[in-house]
Each structure stands twice: as structure tokens, then as C-alpha cells.
Chains A and B, each alone.
Chain A
Amino acid sequence: KAGVTQTPRYLIKTRGQQVTLSCSPISGHRSVSWYQQTPGQGLQFLFEYFSETQRNKGNFPGRFSGRQFSNSRSEMNVSTLELGDSALYLCASSLETGPFYEQYFGPGTRLTVT
């Protein structure tokens, strides 16, 4: 079974631009979560989508948004990029939502904002 895939793997953007990252979950998984990983702040939860609905949201500004499609694929969008948005963005999928279901992480998209 194919794992979680994220595209693109690397991205360089300029301040003020916007960016869209994509995540394809493991087949059959309905929950997709997004995390931001930076050296300074570590791993932080962005949001979770389950059956096309946002279930939970972390403490990030409204510039960070996401959506999930009917095939469970998810995208996250960051508008008006800032230098501090440079990070590794990780996507994780699970069969259902909740701690009893293992979250499988993708390799991440490394975003660099210049």
C-alpha cells in the first residue's frame, strides 16, 4: 500500500506570495492533519480535516488555510508569505480521527521563503 505522498517536496517562494501544498493520504484514510516543523518552534499542529470538514485548528493566523476533497486528498494554502513561514510542512493521514488510530506521516514539503 502506498504511503502518504506530499507534493512538491521542495519549494522556494518570495515574501508576499502565496503557496499551495498538496497531500495524498493512504488509500482508505479519511483524516488528514497538517503540522509545521521549524527549528525554533518545533512541531506544531495546524489543522485536521476529516470527511471534507475541518475538525480541529491549531493556533495559526488566518493566512493558513486548508481543504479536503471527496477523495480525501488535502491541500493547505498559505497566503501573504512571511520569512517565518519557512518550515517543513508535514501531512499525516489516519483511518479515522482520534488517538486510537495511527497517524502516518508523509516526507514533508520544505518551504523556503526569501
Chain B
Amino acid sequence: AQSVTQLGSHVSVSEGALVLLRCNYSSSVPPYLFWYVQYPNQGLQLLLKYTSAATLVKGINGFEAEFKKSETSFHLTKPSAHMSDAAEYFCAVSFETGANNLFFGTGTRLTVIP
């Protein structure tokens, strides 16, 4: 079965500390992988995506993610957390080149401690 799993529904980091949000996928075909962020009472905003080009993907707001096929992972990182990074983060996967149906993980709520 094809799925995506986010480990840790809540992550707390101190301001200035490394942010690491974990995402693993299960797929029998090459996946397309995405990270989205959702601020309270807002829709989702794309942070970055992997579409089989470079395995290290840089996104907006200083975030990046590395696609590791051997580990079936696509973890999101940011070297130094800012207060404005507090939000909910969703990993998503698509398995079709001609479709927009994303499968989302359950989300990770990031809290940044001043």
C-alpha cells in the first residue's frame, strides 16, 4: 500500500535551534514528495517539492529536505528556528504524473520556544 507517515505530531524547539521534521513514505513506484505549511486559519502553502531531480531540495523560508530512497524518507530541516516558523507542517506524496491527488501525512505541529 502507498502511504506517508510523519513521526511526531508535536515538535518543540528553541529559537535558533535546528528544526527536523520527519516524513517516511511507502511506495512501489517513484513518488513525488512535498512539504506544506499551514498557519492558523489559513490554507496550505508549499514549502518545497521533490520531483525526481536533485535529491536535496531547497524551499522557501530557509527550509530544505533530502530525498533518501534507501530510507524511504523525506525529512524537512531548517538550521535555525524562528518564532515565525511555529505552524503545522504536512508531508504529502503523489504517485501519478498526471494527477493532483495528494496523500497527506497526519501533520506535525511545530512550537518554537523563545
How many pairs, one residue from A and one from B, have CB atoms within 8 Å of each other in the complex?
Answer: 71
For window 83-114 of B, CB contacts with A under 8 Å fall at 90, 92, 94, 96-107
For chain A, give the interface size range. Answer: 20 to 34
- Judging by beta carbons under 8 Å apart, are B107 and A42 in contact? yes
9 contacts between A and B (CB under 8 A): A33-B100, A33-B101, A43-B90, A45-B103, A55-B98, A97-B99, A98-B98, A98-B100, A105-B45
Asked if A48 CB lies within 8 Å of chain B CBs, one says yes
Asked if A87 CB lies within 8 Å of chain B CBs, one says no
- Interface positions of B (Cβ within 8 A of A): 32, 34, 36, 41-46, 49, 51, 90, 92, 94, 96-107
- Judging by beta carbons under 8 Å apart, are A99 and B46 in contact? no
Secondary structure class of chain A's binding surface, majority of residues: strand
B1 to chain A, nearest CB (A): 13
Given A48-B100, A48-B101, A58-B101, A99-B43 contact (CB < 8 Å): no
A88 to chain B, nearest CB (A): 9
**Roughly how many angstroms separate A48 CA and B44 CA in the complex, as a whole number?**
17
A93 to chain B, nearest CB (A): 9
Given A99-B94, A103-B46, A56-B101 contact (CB < 8 Å): yes
For B107, the chain A residues whose CB sits under 8 A away are 42-43
> B104 is contacted by which of A42, A50, A55 (Cβ under 8 Å)?
A42
For B101, the chain A residues whose CB sits under 8 A away are 33, 45, 48, 56, 58
For A108, the chain B residues whose CB sits under 8 A away are 43
- Interface positions of A (Cβ within 8 A of B): 4, 31, 33, 35, 42-45, 48, 50, 55-56, 58, 90, 92, 94, 97-108
Given A42-B107, A100-B51, A103-B46, A55-B100 contact (CB < 8 Å): yes
Given A45-B102, A100-B51, A4-B43 contact (CB < 8 Å): yes
In addition to A55-B98, A99-B97, 13 A-B residue pairs with Cβ atoms within 8 Å of each other are: A33-B102, A42-B105, A45-B101, A45-B103, A48-B99, A90-B44, A98-B100, A99-B34, A100-B51, A100-B97, A102-B49, A105-B43, A105-B45
B102's nearest neighbour on chain A, judged by CB, is: A45
